[in-house]
Chains A and B, each alone.
Chain A
Amino acid sequence: MAHVALADKGQELAHPKTWIGMYVWSQDHKIIGIQYIITATAVGVVALILSGIMRLQLGFPGVFDFIQPDEYYQAVTMHGMIMIVFMLTAFFLGGFGNILVPLMCGARDMAFPYMNMLSYWVYLLSVIVVCASFFVPEGPTGAGWTLYPPQAITEGSAGADWGILCMTVSLALFVVAFTMGGLNYVTTAFQARTRGMTLMRMPLSVWGIIMATILGLLAFPALLVSVIMMTLDKALGTSFFMPAISSLGENLAHEGGSPILFQHLFWFFGHPEVYIVALPAFGIVSDLISTHARKNIFGYRMMVWAIVAIGGLSFIVWAHHMYVSGMNPYFGFFFATTTLIIAVPTAIKVYNWVLTLWQGNIHLTVPMLFSIGFIFTFIHGGITGLFLGNVVVDVPLSDTYFVVGHFHMVMGVSPFLVVFGGIYHWFPLLTGRMLNDTMGKIHFWMTFLGTYAIYLPMHYIGILGVPRRYYANGTTEFLPDSVQTANLSITLAALVVAAAQFLFLINIIWSMFKGRKSSRNPWRATTIEWQTPDYPPKHGNWGKELPVIHRWAYSYSVPGAKEDFIPQNEPPSEHTRGEGKV
């Protein structure tokens, strides 16, 4: 039976003529991706500044009058929520997902471009609502990014009236936006691949992104439900999460609710969320390492299955965030076991990255530097994760800076390094210009070394017992004076790293206009996003004919081939015959 070019079926792309149609109300997946990236970056800068406020208070307690306890807690909360949901999730799935999935699968656009456009605009609305909470009476919520009730909605916590409502509403909007986008990414990767692009020939970036999207589609419902219940508790006075409680000397009208229910719902979303930002990073970094080491990825099939396994396991580990919540200890036993099992597929991935590098022809380009940096920070954060996955170790370490150091390493810094690596790698594809190399290297070294200067000391002060989320430590007997010295040095390092990110933004803006023109395929990559007829690719991506795929995405340094890479869509010839079985 003749094969219908799948991605061409049922697709009639309307090419807009006006500037607004092309760049504002755009249905082109690349433009939507860029819109996502710009919005996520803007809101990420807000979260970065908030972290600076926190560090100023911790490094110089009492020096800055404008940071009172309420402001400090608001900064903590908003920094966490914005970075995790509105920045990283949106950046990886909305940004990289939009740009890479159709291009790497050989599709002309997302399966449903109009819905894809709606997804961005609802996301923008959610960002506007969450930022609006800075301007409502009493400011944003200060409940911590986990928004635990009762204190999130009880008088006396910062932003317990308007701030928390802005937060729950914006999260609900985000879930709607993500669902519209996420359905598109999955459907496109499953249904709209071009001829010859089997699932087991897809680049790992696409695997990571669609698996993360599936996790999102199944995990965000729990977040939606928990924020709906919390909104009702706040706005209508229901008692889903509110037990009988007295606050500020008065008995509240609530009774009979269960705060633990919120924790279960929240972490049923919250733990997969870790992998929603980690899996795209895993996928993208695999492609970066393979391309820049000029070597095929080690154990491609195992990498795919590891992504799938991590995705599946991530749904049955959530209560390891709740060891100290008073849960039944037998639960702790179960969740500790599953948590440690998840280390197996994760370790497979790390070994495979290292083995890909082994004896590779490593080019220390800026994307490669970030990828190698990622391996370091990820191993570091992953191993402290093994500590915290054990109940007996977690109980004393929970709520100390050890946890802060751990999760910033594993799901803060590591995905961010991949975001940077990805931008340095794909910037030429979207703009036709290279980012400045020198600025890139300065950015990398300041970020990478600065990261260690920030988070390594946090592990030490955490083991000493410094509690997290405290506005000021005061004077206690068990904390030596050196804790404050460490805090001061962390703050200085954090400010330097923050400044380095502005160097990166300058690099982007400068290179967009003045950067060196890039060649067609500057990194000599095999994946087909570099093989579009127009460069940078235009609306519809592929001109008249869709590409036909002849091999997997990792044909680097094939013996006997005329170049050290063979693009996925190059027809088989004498030169490429010896390339192995895939």
Chain B
Amino acid sequence: MAQGSGEVATNDAVTDLVSDWSAEKEVFKVHWGKAMMWIFLLSDTFIFTSFLTGYMKVRISSTVPWPNASEIFALSFGGDPIPLILIAIMTFVLITSSGTMALAVNYGYRNERVKTALLLFVTAGFGLLFVGMQAFEWTKLIAEEGVRPWGNPFGAAQFGASFFMITGFHGAHVSGGVIYLTYVAFGVLNGRYEKKGYDIVEIAGLYWHFVDLVWVFIFAFFYLW
């Protein structure tokens, strides 16, 4: 009996979904820009998935041992090297920026212009800090450790290749996001969205959270694996 009623419920849900989607209205009940951003992020997900799948493939088929991430990415402050400390800070910064972004969206919908703009600037600042630390990390890897895209002293050449390619692509996303957020922040400050509404803050936020989420995967696959 219970199973039977469950089936009915599922069928209703499917029917509702189809009739909702095919009714004479917007398929997604959101701002057009937001719908478009979601579709774009889906597409972008496929880009990062392809990158990470490619990375996994070259890693598992490598004939040479893979370098030990926790040694390479260690940083010492006078004493013993602490593994992954820089990455931990970078991840913390980026996740914090997601928090300030969420606050900005919240204040945006309350039409508090100055607070929204301020929080957007803070978010962009965190993004900039992240990119700065990434630049530091790259410099250290290239100049001190001798890691190059075509080879490194620790093991498989594909380590440097996929590291620079994928973190570079992600860093480009963060940099683009910083520019986008700054543009939106100035717009908020100047009252450009008073009439149109503050959806754009949320749309920019979607992008920013996405970039954040992707970092979590990159972090897991590069530094923890």
Contact = CB atoms under 8 A, between A and B. Distances in A.
A220 B158 CA distance: 24
Contacts of A264: 57
A190 B28 contact: yes
Interface string A243-262: 00000000001011110010
Interface string A208-240: 000000000111111011101100100011111
A258 B149 contact: no
Nearest to B197: A10
Contacts of B61: 256, 258
Q: Which of A183, A186, A187, A549 has the most CB of B within 10 A?
A: A187
Contact of B46 (A199, A222, A256, A261): A222
B50 A225 contact: yes
Given A237-B150, A238-B149, A257-B58, A218 B46 contact: yes
For the complex of A and B, 7 pairs with smallest distance between CB atoms: A238-B161, A221-B46, A225-B50, A221-B47, A237-B150, A199-B22, A190-B27
23 contacts: A10-B31, A10-B196, A179-B43, A183-B36, A183-B40, A183-B43, A187-B32, A191-B27, A196-B24, A197-B24, A199-B21, A218-B46, A221-B44, A229-B165, A239-B158, A239-B161, A256-B64, A256-B158, A257-B58, A257-B158, A258-B58, A264-B57, A265-B54
A111 B31 CA distance: 11
Given A111-B32, A225-B50, A229-B54, 9 more contacts: A10-B32, A186-B36, A190-B28, A225-B51, A232-B161, A237-B149, A238-B149, A238-B165, A258-B61
A190 B42 CA distance: 16
A256 B157 contact: yes
A196 B162 CA distance: 50
Interface residues of B, number: 41
Given A6-B26, A191-B26, A199-B22, A111 B36 contact: yes
B23 interface: yes
A10 B32 CA distance: 9
Contact of A218 (B43, B63, B149, B156): B43
Interface string B113-155: 0000000000000000000000000000000000001100000
Given A111-B36, A222-B46, A256 B58 contact: yes
B62 interface: yes
Given A195-B24, A198-B22, A240 B54 contact: yes
A256 B24 contact: no
Nearest to A112: B36
Contacts of B169: 228
A256 B62 contact: yes
Interface of A: 3, 6, 10, 111-112, 179, 183-184, 186-187, 190-193, 195-200, 217-222, 224-226, 228-229, 232, 236-240, 253, 255-258, 261, 264-265, 268, 549
B64 to A, nearest CB: 6
Contacts of A226: 50
Contacts of B51: 225
Interface of B: 21-28, 31-33, 35-36, 39-40, 42-44, 46-47, 49-51, 54, 57-58, 61-64, 149-150, 156-158, 160-162, 165, 169, 196
A514 B214 CA distance: 57
B101 to A, nearest CB: 22
Contact of B150 (A186, A190, A195, A238): A238
A179 B40 contact: yes
Contact of B47 (A111, A187, A198, A225): A225
A218 B42 contact: yes
Contact of A200 (B22, B25, B150): B22
A199 B49 CA distance: 31
B176 to A, nearest CB: 12
Contacts of B27: 190-191, 199
A106 B70 CA distance: 58
A226 B149 CA distance: 16
Given A191-B27, A237-B150, A256-B63, A217 B42 contact: yes
Contacts of A240: 54, 58, 158, 161-162
B50 A265 contact: yes
A236 B162 CA distance: 12
B158 to A, nearest CB: 6
A193 B58 contact: no
